[in-house]
Amino acid sequence: MIIVTGAAGFIGSNIVAALNDRGINDVVLCDWLLSDLRWQNLRKRAFTDFVFPEDLPRWLEGRSCVEAIIHMGAISSTKVRDGDEIMRKNFLFTLSLIDWCAKTNASLIYASSAATYGDGESGFVDDISFDALRKLRPLNLYGWSKHQIDLLVAHRRRSGGALPQKCIGLKFFNVYGQNEYHKGDMASVVCKMFETARRGETVNLFESCREGVPHGGQRRDFIYVDDVVSTVLWCLDAMATVDVFNIGTGEARSFAEMTQALFAAVGKEPAVQYSPMPDILRDRYQYFTQASTARFRAAGYAAPFNSLEQGVMHYVHNYLSREDRYR
């Protein structure tokens, strides 16, 4: 049995789909469905049980048949201001899963984030040592909550504290792809601007507020969700280890390049305008992210990643352009 938290969400639902594709149907989904149509992310899926997050600790009592928990559930908005809610749902809930997996010897693969790196001043190397992690300064509550889990794992790893034999944190960089439609403002540029670009109209990007960075020149490590799922399944299959890995392509690309890839995918000439960045983001905005992938490659992950152009083209032609956009 495999439990997937955040199962109705963007990455979680793609993981459930991939497990089903492997013939694994003994999957327990943990999430809230809410009223934003995210249930459609699961419309084609098979699973054996559904548990609301607040009920999961009680549901786990006495269970001995769980092979692994793939923990994708979290408040993922970088704009959230409620620190208590972030602490309850992102830190304390994850901590309870770490402790339970340590007691039962179930594997735990959990979502961390590139947001833990803050402005990138300390680099983007996925060093799990406690001292290295202590140098990072996340810019928002979301990144801070993920960082605190990484720190806790690193501390227990160093001190011999209770951890699952397999406890792998994955620092996802900028993920885009199918099943992100419910994310609203937190959806990718490709998702939000597809219809506008398909009509050949002008899309809007944020202006740059940093000297030396042109408008649209803010660069991120964009990674297609199919590649992310591939890394999660690899970790599920891999030998037991306690570690934290970057999950990105290793190549930073600009938002301007992403919009160019989108217009190319829909067969239109690029048309872009720029507007001021909202005040809520101005002081907490990452202008550059680029995953160091050397440690993950050294651990044995050998599959190539889609380029930005390949990923956008696949997303547009296989999902966004179709009547049924869901995996």
Kindly list the catalytic residues.
142, 183
Output the CA torsion 305→306→307→308 (10° steps).
-120
- Residues, the chain: 327
Across the chain, where does the E strand assignment appear? 2-5, 27-30, 49-51, 68-71, 107-113, 167-172, 174-176, 203-206, 219-220, 222-224, 242-247, 253-254, 272-275
How many CB atoms lie under 10 A from the CB of residue 117? 27
Q: Which two tokens stand for residue 282?
A: 């101005």
Distance CA 249, CA 306 (A): 8
CA distances from 18 to 14, 89, 100, 284, 289 (A): 6, 25, 25, 34, 27
Note whether 94 and 71 are within 8 A (CB).
Answer: yes
CB neighbour list of residue 127: distance below 8 Å, 6 or more residues apart: 133
> What are the percentages of helix, strand and coil residues in the chain, rounded to 5?
40, 15, 40
Output the CA torsion 35→37→40→13 (10° steps).
-80
Element (H, E) at 269: none
Q: Which two tokens stand for residue 200?
A: 């050949």
